[in-house]
Amino acid sequence: MRVYLDQAATSWPKPPEVLQAVERFFTQVGCNVNRGGYAAAYTAAEVVLETRERLCRLFGFDKPAQVIFTAGVTASLNQLLKGLLRPGDHLLVSALEHNAVMRPLAQLVEQGVSFDRLPAGPDGRLPEDLEGALELLLRPNTRMLVVTHASNVCGVLLPLARLGAFCRAHGLWFVVDAAQTGGVESIHMGAMGIDALAFAGHKGLLGPQGLGGFLVRRELAERMEPLVAGGTGSFSHLERMPNQLPDRFEAGTLNLPGIFGLHAALGWLERTGIDAVRQREQQLLERLLSQLDGLPDLRLLGPRDPAQRTAVAALDFPGRDNGEVAFQLDQAGIMVRCGLHCAPNAHRVLGSYPQGAVRLSAGWYNTPQEMDYTAQVIKRLIAG
């Protein structure tokens, strides 16, 4: 049996219409947008606009021109952090952030930006007195709060609406990394007070790799310097980047095969409904976890309650080498991700640093049989 349980890294397989849309791009469209005055280019431009509109609907936003395509969450967070923060600025981050936040921040620290981490408990959850904990960290120069919506290590969900309300009350920009939750958890930028949201096209959104982006409120977009400058196919008489959105942050040729694929994936998601996706993924993970509950020499990181987590299970096998466990799973055809998952501090919080953990993540296309098989293999491993 071949079981793909690394959906938190990238989802696989994709809905068949995603592949068909990418093929349609290459066989029937093939051109660029904003550059050609012919019918195919207008068709492509329509798909690009509709993709921005679908992303707005999914994320509770209403400004398609402020949906910016990039190569992924990493590129989006680099743009947002480096484009908005200036020497002397301070920001707050959660203790669970991915290196897509922490590494750009490390570069910014060298330029005089400083940050504090909001503490998290040993199961990854934020303090009960969240507002009190945030207030303790505030400084007169605090500009921004950046959080991941869910930990990519243990799946714990962060309370976006509460964090957003705090940011509004204290004049902070609220930037959210939705890599792990886009297409699975409901997100409403307006209701949650989110100023900028970074998304990955290739995880829960079920599109191709190499495409992601961010949705950003105008006030932030106007303060933000583009990290990459170049041709936009518009305002070509200017030798500086135009102010027009999304052009200002989309220099260079767009990833059109990726956008065609994402367009189809978002159509699939709209028809299927993210509640159905979440429910199915949770049922699958629950089926696995319920067979592992109470086993000796096995520790689940993060909260056990499915309402507080995504369909990600990070397992620590005390007394064993987690890398060896992942190898044994691979031998049995089960694909998982072992190590620190680009989030070393999350592992520190969860007590799994430096040994890391074995992460299994379920997606729409996994099956109950795969979960049963995986549980059996893990039980055999522990018994052996």
Residue (212 or 356) nearer to ligand PMP, CB: 212
The Cα 114–Cα 218 span in angstroms is 25
72 binds ligand PMP (CB under 6 A): yes
Element (H, E) at 332: none
378 binds ligand PMP (CB under 6 A): no
Give min distance, CB of 25 to ligand PMP, in A: 21
94 binds ligand PMP (CB under 6 A): no
152 binds ligand PMP (CB under 6 A): yes
Antiparallel, parallel or unpaired: β 312-316 and 357-361:
antiparallel
Task: Specify the amino acid at residue 58.
Answer: L
Taking CB under 6 A as the binding criterion, the range among 115-123, 177-185, 352-360, 362-370 that sits at the site for ligand PMP is 177-185
Give min distance, CB of 277 to ligand PMP, in A: 17
180 binds ligand PMP (CB under 6 A): yes
207 binds ligand PMP (CB under 6 A): no
74 binds ligand PMP (CB under 6 A): yes
262 binds ligand PMP (CB under 6 A): no
280 binds ligand PMP (CB under 6 A): no
Cα separation values, 322 from 17, 224, 255, 297, Å: 37, 42, 37, 12
Classify 210 in phi/psi space as left (phi over 0), alpha (psi -120 to 50) or beta.
left
What sign for the dihedral angle of Cα 67, 71, 73, 75? negative
25: its two tokens = 């791009």
Tell me how long the chain is: 384
Cα separation values, 196 from 40, 77, 84, Å: 32, 10, 11
366 binds ligand PMP (CB under 6 A): no
200 binds ligand PMP (CB under 6 A): yes
Cβ contact 188:205 at 8 Å: no
- CA 240, chain centre distance (Å): 31
| Residue of closest CB approach to ligand PMP | 72
366: its two tokens = 């996994």
Residue (33 or 175) nearer to ligand PMP, CB: 175
Give min distance, CB of 149 to ligand PMP, in A: 8
Say how many residues touch ligand PMP, by CB under 6 A. 14
Instruction: Point out which residues bind ligand PMP (CB under 6 A).
Output: 9, 72-74, 98, 100, 148, 152, 177, 179-180, 200, 212, 342
